[in-house]
Amino acid sequence: MTLSKTDFILRHKYINLNRLHKAATCDAVMKIALVHTSLWGRGGAERQLLNLAIELQKLGNEVEIFAPQVNEKTCYPELLKQVTVNVLPSNRFVPFKNDSNTYFDEATGGRNIRSQIQRIAVHQFYTSGLPAMINLGKIIPKGFDIINNHNPPSEWAAFIAKRRLKIPVVWMCNEPPTWFASKRTGVRKKISWPLFEIWDKTSVEYIDKIIVLSHVAESMVRNAYNKPSMVVRTGLDIEKLHNVSGDEVRKKYGLENDFVLLHVANFAPNRQSNSIKALSYLSRKHSNLKLLLDGAGPKEELQKLSEKLDVKNKVFFIRSKCDSDLAKVYAACDAFLFPQQITWGLAAVEAMGSTKPVIVSKGCGVAEIIEDNVNGMLVENGKPEEIAQKVENLIADPNLRMKISKNAFDYVKEKLSWEKYAQQMEGVFKKIVRNN
């Protein structure tokens, strides 16, 4: 059909008005669906998601979280009460619990055979993870402008939702999936291949934008998916960390006259072992050094290591119950150790916000914001003797310790906050919605 000149002008005005309306909507209120694995424990990813939701709401957006399950007692109850969380209507699938006792058989005092089989199956994501993510993608209703999924394998839920709702997806990929780096061989590898290689990569093809926390993660995403990503640093609540007293913690553990080292992370031999080894080196010269390990999970192997290295009485295994308790633990230390290799390291950033000198592995994402001996200290991965030397330098030079601590605080106060993080993420969302 041929349009008259008048009809063409009217239609052109109508199209332009639609575009203006869409742009105005994007600049005003957005409705955002945040997708996550089960909100079960107190981890950096859970804290990041909840604070992002809260800050996006402060910016005037409507935000809802979708997760397979939520534990309101163990997963930041003070944050959960400020957001809306939608969970799967059935308890049939219970995946991704951050609970080291999930498969512990109290009757026998160990892990039973059935639980071992379930653990292997769950780890492969076939019996719980995949169905849970598919069902999660199905319960996200119409009306949202964008989906922002966090943590693998939430991309599977986002894939299902996008095919239904035809809206864009932004993946906050805190830690790229580990299965692509797996060196497992044999039957288990062959069973994993169809799901990990085909389903996962197909899902990621539907992602409009991938956000990562560091260039370390950026490289991992490129290697896994051959896709680009954008670095957006996460935030912290510096007001809750600054000017907090650690006297209560020091008194509780009898550390009033000690030089205290701190390592915050869920317990695993590949995380805390270098901190314990560094303490062993230092204890040959210093008798008043102590190490606090704050985290959750099985600690038997770490206890055996501390006993073997003759520092059993110098290592304290603790578990903060809430953010305010953790802030006191940060305040109680003289130096913070973070020698593991991960894509970011929120605990190290929080220690900087507590005005503490941090000693970080060069292979860790947070090392990208550290200038050695200026706002922190850097060590080679797997070199506990280097950690010990850095601590020795801090003990010997109180002025260096004060300088690094002040610079660390100034850096995170200026550069990192939950508000800034949410503003950057909102900017990404708006741009993508405009272009769709």
Q: Mind listing the pLDDT tens digit for each residue in 92-106? A: 554 444 433 332 233
Neighbour count for residue 164 (Cβ, 10 Å): 13
Q: Could you read off the pLDDT of 330-345 as tens digits, one per residue?
A: 999 999 999 988 899 9
What is the predicted pLDDT for the residue at 401?
97
Looking at residue 116, what is its pLDDT?
43
Task: Please give, one letter per residue, the 3-state secondary structure of 168-203.
Answer: CEEEECCCCCHHHHCCCCCHHHHHHHHHHHHHHHHH
Low-confidence ranges of the chain (pLDDT < 50): 1-26, 94-124
Which residues does residue 85 pair with via DSSP β-bridges, in sequence order? 65
Superfamily of domain 24-99+125-235+418-434: Glycogen Phosphorylase B; (3.40.50.2000)
Tell me whether the CATH fold assigned to 24-99+125-235+418-434 matches the one assigned to 238-415.
yes
| CATH H-level superfamily of 238-415 | Glycogen Phosphorylase B; (3.40.50.2000)
pLDDT of residue 322: 85
Residue 1 pLDDT: 37
- What pLDDT score does 145 carry? 98
Q: What is the reported pLDDT for 436?
A: 86
Q: At what angle do helices 418-434 and 5-27 cross, to 10 degrees?
A: 160
**What residues does each domain of the chain span?**
24-99+125-235+418-434, 238-415
Token pair for 309: 């290295």
Q: Answer for the pair 249, 331: CB distance below 8 angstroms, yes or no.
A: yes
Q: Helix, strand, coil: what percent of the chain each, to 5? A: 50, 15, 35
Q: Which pLDDT score, from 0 to 100, does residue 195 have?
A: 63
Kindly report, residue by residue over 76-93, the tens digit of the pLDDT.
999 999 999 999 986 555
pTM equals: 0.82
- Look at residue 6 in the predicted model and tell me its pLDDT: 43
Q: How far apart are CA 416 and CA 410, in angstroms?
A: 10
DSSP notation for 340-389: S--S--HHHHHHHHTT--EEEETTSGGGGG--BTTTBEEE-TT-HHHHHH
Distance CA 302, CA 316 (A): 11
Q: Give the model's pLDDT for residue 420.
A: 95
The answer to whether the beta carbons of residues 144 and 165 sit under 8 Å apart is yes
